Amino acid sequence: MQPCWPITGHAVAVRLGQLCTVLVALTLVIACGGKPDVKPVVSAPDPRPKAIITTKFGEIHFKFYPDVAPKHVENFIALAKSGFYNQTIFHRVIPGFMIQGGDPNTKNSLRKETYGAGGPKDEKGNPIYLKAEFNEVPHKRGIVSMARATEPDTAGSQFFIVVEVSPFLDRKYTAFGEVIKGLGVADKIVALPRNDQDLPKERIEMVVTIVE
């Protein structure tokens, strides 16, 4: 027969304390449904302005990159607020590459030969150009960048949205924003039937709104 060691009062108190601890832990787990009581972290809304391009296919929302292209962001916002972009169209679409718009000449559906040559002008009718702000933002899918002529400092109002990664544009065109919602709308536009000049056979007009 194995010896039976006596249990002291101190040992009983220790065991009772351990049992109480276990019971309290089980009660907490059951009361919480087995999950810790953690409150979700709510992110503060981004106070910076954003653009919304409204088309017949839906809306494209994009944010700006003022830290790397301040003058291009300022220019786009000013033009959009003035209504400059409203009723212009996406006049150049290339599958696997990008969609381009923002030319005021495209408001006239009868002067297709001038599409791609327009931009903002001063009170004397002279073109207003932006100095290039080439930066390190890669031209990945969803990037909004500024179109230009052959020379670097010739951007005005025309912009394009990249639908497929295009690294050959990096540091050669000014990226100034990125789509955060509605990139599927750009996919629909880029897939439209087009002519030999990459002009969609269907007019896709835009209205551009700035949300602050």
Lowest pLDDT segment from 24-38, 72-86, 93-107, 155-169: 24-38
Mean pLDDT of 158-184: 98
Mean pLDDT of 160-176: 98
pTM: 0.80
The burial class, CB within 10 Å (0-12 / 13-18 / 19+), for 19 is exposed
Per-residue pLDDT at 13 exceeds 90: no
Most trustworthy range by pLDDT among 26-30, 33-37, 130-134:
130-134
The predicted pLDDT at position 5 comes to 45
CB 181 within 8 A of CB 167: no
The predicted pLDDT at position 46 comes to 73
